Structure 1
Amino acid sequence: MTYQPLPPEQPAPEPEQESAKGNVLEIFEKIGSVAVPIAVGMYAMLYLGLAQVYKVFGITPEQAGLDQATIFGRLIGTLIELFLVALPGVGLLVGLGWLLNLATRRSVGRLLHKLREQPWIAATAGALISIVAYWAYFGTLWELSGGTLLVAVALVAIFGLLVPFRLMRRRNTGRAGMKVLTGALLGIGLGLMLVAQMVQGAVDIADNGNGNALLQTVGFQNQWATVGDGDGKPLHKDSPEERFLLLGEKEGAYVLYDCGKQETFRRSVEGTTLGMIEFDPDFSDPETGEVKACGYALEDAETEEQ
C-alpha cells in the first residue's frame, strides 16, 4: 500500500481579500436585482409594441411570418443595444457620484446611507421611480394630458405606491420585494414610451414610407420592392415603378402593403416576382426635401389619366 503525501495546507485568506470578494459579489447582486426586473418589464412592453406595429397594417406578427423564436431573438438584441447605450450614461453618473463623495470626504455617501435608512424617504424615492410606468400608461393608452394626467398620476403615487412601499420597508423581504417591483414598473414605463415611438414610426411608414431608427432596432423590416405577376408584369401597369412594403412571408405567400391604396394583401410566392428591393427608401422629394406619400407614383399616374 502506497501513501500519498497530504497536500500542503492553503493559507487562510486575509480579511481584506474576503472583504473585497464580498463587496464585488454584493455589487453584482445589487445590479442584478435591479437590472433583471427592468429588462423583463421592457421586454414585455416591446413584445406588445411589436404587435401594435403590425396592427397598423391590419395583421399580426404571426401572419407576417414571425414566430416566437424570431421575436424573442430580435427583442433580446434590442435590449442588448439599449443596454450598451445606457451603460456609459450610468457609468458617468456613478463616476460623478464617486468624485462628489471623494470631494466631500465621504459626507455625501454617509448622507445617502442615512436617507436610505429612513422608511418614508426610501418609500417616496421608490414611488417616484415607479410612477414612470403609470405616467406612460395614462399618457399613451388612456390618452390623458395636462391636469387630468397629473391628478391621476399623483393619486396612484400617493395611495397606490407610497403607503404600500412604506409598509414593505418594515421587513427585509419587503425591501427586496419593493426593489423588484420598482425595477419592473420602471421597465414597463420605459417600455411604454418606446412602444409609443414604435407605433408612431409604423404610422409614418404606412403614410409615407419613412420610419424611425427604433423600428429598425426592434427588427421591423422596412423593405420595399416593385412587385409583378408570375410573368414579371407589374401589378400597376400605369406605374411600373410603384413599390410595395414587404411585411413578410408565410405559408407560401408574400404579405404586402400597398401604400397608395392603404391596404394589406397576400400573393402567392410562385405567382409573384420581386424587383428593385430596397431597405428604408427615401420617399422625399430630392429637390425640395418634402416627404411625399409612399404611393405618390400611383397617385401621379391617376392624376395624369384624369
Structure 2
Amino acid sequence: MKAEPPVIVQGPELRRPWRVLTSSPVLAVLVVLGLGALSHRVPTLQRIALFDPLPEAETETPSIPAPVLVEGESTLESETTERPELAQPEHVEIPKGSRGPIAAEQGPALEPINVEKPPVPIEDASGKALDGFYSALGRAQRKQPGGIVRVLHFGDSIVTSDYVSGTLRRKLQKRFGDSGHGFMLMANAWPAYFHNDVSRFASSGWKVSRIVGPLSPDGLYGLGGVSFRAPPGSRARFGTAKSGHFGRNVSRFEVSYMLEPGGGKMQLNVDGKQYKVLDTSSGEKRTAV
C-alpha cells in the first residue's frame, strides 16, 4: 500500500499588535503629527508648520447692549390667515342628538370642585377671595340671565399661541357653557399669534405698536398690549369655527377702537352685508366699543 502525502491546511496568519504599530502607514502618520507639533514649539521650525495654531480665547467677552425701546410702529408684511396645522385637538365628545350652542343645554346643578392643593400655596387669609368667581360660575351653569363669566389670562409667549389658554377655555366651556371665544387681536402682532376655535383673517400692511417695542407715542395699547393703525384699504375678518365642537355659534361681536382727531371711517360688515360705518374722528382721544 502506497502512503498518501500529508495535506497541509494553512490557517489564518496571526499578527502581533506591535507589528501593526510598526507598519509603514502608521509610521508615516506618526512622523507627520510629530513634525506638526514640533514646528509650533521650536521657533526656527515655524516656517514648515503643517497646521495653523488655534486662536487664543479672549479673556473678556464683550457685553451685548440691551435693546433700546423707541417710539414708532412696524408694518405687518404678512397676511393673517387660518393655520389649521396649529389647531389643538379637542378630545371632547358631544352627543350626536344635541343641537344649538353648548350654552343652551340644561346641565345639572353646580357641584363642588374637589382638587388637590397646589404645590405652592396661594395666600388668602379670608378664604373668600374666589367667592365671587365661583358664584358667577354657578349662575352660568344654571343658565341664569346675564350669567356670563369672563376670565382674563395674563401671560407672555405661552399665551400668544392659545394652547394653555385654549385648553382652559375649552374645559370651562364644556362644563359651564360656551358664551363666546373672548378677546382677539386685530391681526398677528407676532408670527406665533394663533387662536383655536375661531376663523381669522387680516390683510397685510397694518401698522402696529407693542408694549415691547416699537412703543406707541400715546402709551395706549389696549387689553392685548398692542395697538393697530389701519392704512386705507386695510381689512380684517372674524368668524365662527368651521369645524369642531367649540366656537360654532355666535350672537354678537364687540369691536374696540380709538376715537381721535383726524380719525378715519371704518365699515363693518356682517354676513357679507354692510352693517354700520363708524366715524373714528373726535375732538379728543378716547377709547370706544
TM-score by length of 1: 0.18
Please identify which structure carries the higher helix content.
Answer: 1
